[in-house]
Structure 1
């Protein structure tokens, strides 16, 4: 009886998901239009549940991070969806995980750089070196791609993507300045992207 209440994948969402995976014209735009409100709600709710007030720019960054995560690796996150729940439920879980990581990391960076931490996450100086970063979730793929990196880059990528460490934790662990972590990650990501072929 309990199982009867499970929300299943609707035909509309099944078709939309398939169009995205097939990279049909306008499919991604339709997907974003359909689920933008949901991701915005998750961003607001996740921040609120942590006692944080986020400004609109920060919220938009968080939402963009979620959508970047969804398209990364040829829609790898969407391809992993087992279709045994509603698409909205799956996206809520993915969005919450991406946003919670980002908020945790942003808070660590704010306090590490000595800026005021008065319950605000976001703002001008907070994540400027990280706005385009989304963690890659496929551990096997990362480990293969890391073989293309030098040891420092591989270390930084492993700590950030696989261990979920903040920029501050990474800078202390590898002995590089906080401001160097973002550029090293960017350079490593470029090498890894080029290696995907």
Structure 2
């Protein structure tokens, strides 16, 4: 779908900091952003409270205006503006959900470890075994695949950041990640037999 004149004009006005343009932008696209957040959460089987949705939405809006609208300035007009915003919103939302899940699990792990240490230090071997299991699984992948999985899932880097860090094209990160996931899934199925 091509970029509509109205969207181009609204975007241009926002980038020029014309009075009222950002409010108009927010009014026009806030519903889309909420929809994408809820859809991503549903697709990942994550339950979000209204406050969580508001927080993620605020983070998305901050990223849109950050660095003098850098994200919006990168829009090339090769698709519709709503399509571009959907992709940006989804990426930020996924990253936020992963970050929140990791923080929650780390917080739980810290609390659990404190209780375990008070009761019996020998039980600490379980989290270490889990980390060792992850390493064993990653050893089943090629070096490049394992590194992409580590950077994406453990470091929460996006495709561009991974491509830059590994010196590979950004558009090759997705296929590498898909292949690695397939191999890990097949290995897990083998072990469960």
* CA deviation profile, 1:147-190 (whole Å, cap 9, x unmatched): xxxxxxxxxxxx787899xxxxxxxxxxxxxxxxxxxxxxxxxx
Relative to the length of structure 1, the TM-score reads: 0.56
Asked whether the equivalents of residues 37 and 93 of structure 2 are also in contact (C-alpha less than 8 Å), the reply is: yes
- What's the counterpart of residue 31 of structure 1? 25
Larger Rg belongs to: 2
Q: Kindly indicate whether residue 72 of structure 2 is the aligned counterpart of residue 78 of structure 1.
A: yes
Q: Kindly indicate whether residue 63 of structure 2 is the aligned counterpart of residue 64 of structure 1.
A: no
- What's the counterpart of residue 87 of structure 2? 93
Structure 1 or 2: more helix by fraction: 2
How has the CA–CA distance of structure 1 residues 94 and 162 changed in structure 2, closer, same or farther, with 3 Å as cutoff? closer
What secondary structure is seen at the aligned counterpart in 2 of 1:15?
A: helix
Unaligned runs of 5+ in 2: 110-154, 161-193
Higher relative contact order (CA 8 A, sep 6+): 1
**How many residues are paired up?**
116
What secondary structure is seen at the aligned counterpart in 2 of 1:53?
A: coil
- What's the counterpart of residue 155 of structure 1? none
- What's the counterpart of residue 104 of structure 2? 110
How has the CA–CA distance of structure 1 residues 87 and 162 changed in structure 2, closer, same or farther, with 3 Å as cutoff? closer
Q: Give structure 1 regions of 4+ aligned residues with deviation exceeding 6 angstroms.
A: 159-164
Distance apart, 1:65 and its partner CA: 0.8
Relative to the length of structure 2, the TM-score reads: 0.57
